[in-house]
Amino acid sequence: MTPVSTALEPCPACGAALRSALVCESCGALLEPRTPPTPFETFGLEMSYPLDAAREQKRLLALSRALHPDFHATASAVRRQRAEDSTALLNAAHAVLADDVRRADWLVRALGGPREDEERTMPAGFLQEVLEWNEAIAEARSAAPGSPERAALAPLAERLRAERARELQDVRERLEPLPERGAPALRKARQALNALRYLDRVLAELGELDLDPR
C-alpha cells in the first residue's frame, strides 16, 4: 500500500509544524493552500476509511475556533474573507468525513476508482432482491393504511436496515486497509455504495409511506 502523503510544509509565519492545511494552530496564521486540501488534509487526519468520530469532532471544534471570524475581526478584508472561505472548506470536509457513505465515496474516487456514473451495477444477487422490494413497496403504496400490504412495510424496513449494515460492512472491508490506486476492490466498493444509495432512497420512501395519513 502506498500511503498518500499528507505531510505539510511548516507554517510560513512561525515555522511550526502544521496539522491542518487551512490554519496554523500554533500562531493562528491563515494559510493559503496552493491546491484545495483534501478533507483529510483539512483536518490533519491520516487518510483512511475507519474514522475516530470523537477525534474528528475534536478537530472540527479546534479548527472552527481557529478560523472563527471573531479571531480575525480586526484583520484585513482579505484575511477575513480567507477565514470565511476556510470555514466553508472545513465544514464541507466535515460533511464528507463524518458520513460513512460519503467518506467511502470520496476515497474510492481519490484512489482512482470508478465514479458512480462510471460503475452503475450493484453487487451480484442484490438486484433480485431489489425487484422484490420494489414490488412490495408498489403494493403498499396502492393499499389502504392498516392493510396487510402496509403492515408488511415494517418488517421490510427491518430487512433493508440489516442489508444496509451488511453493505456498509462490505465497503469497510474493501477499503480497510486502503487499496492501491485503481485496485479492483475500488470497483467492488463502488458497487456496494450503489446498493447503499438504493437502500437509503427506499428507506426514505418507506418513512414517507409510514407517515402518510391517507
Query: In sequence order, what are the residues at sequence separation of 6 or more whose Cβ sits closer than 8 angstroms to the Cβ of residue 201?
Result: none
Name which of 14 and 138 has its Cβ closer to Zn ion.
14
Name which of 16 and 162 has its Cβ closer to Zn ion.
16
Name which of 66 and 196 has its Cβ closer to Zn ion.
66
Q: Are 167 and 192 in contact (CB under 8 A)?
A: yes
First CA to last CA across the chain, in angstroms?
55
CA distances (Å), 140 to each of 146, 151, 159, in order? 10, 8, 16
Q: Taking the complex as a whole, how short is the minimal distance between the CB of residue 8 and Zn ion, in angstroms?
A: 11
Q: Taking the complex as a whole, how short is the minimal distance between the CB of residue 24 and Zn ion, in angstroms?
A: 3
Centre a 10 Å sphere on the Cβ of residue 94 and count the other Cβ atoms it contains. 19
Name which of 8 and 143 has its Cβ closer to Zn ion.
8
Q: State the cell numbers at 35.
A: 491546491
Binding site for Zn ion (CB under 5 A): 11, 13-14, 16, 24, 26-27, 29
Centre a 10 Å sphere on the Cβ of residue 6 and count the other Cβ atoms it contains. 17
Q: Taking the complex as a whole, how short is the minimal distance between the CB of residue 11 and Zn ion, in angstroms?
A: 3
Q: Taking the complex as a whole, how short is the minimal distance between the CB of residue 58 and Zn ion, in angstroms?
A: 20
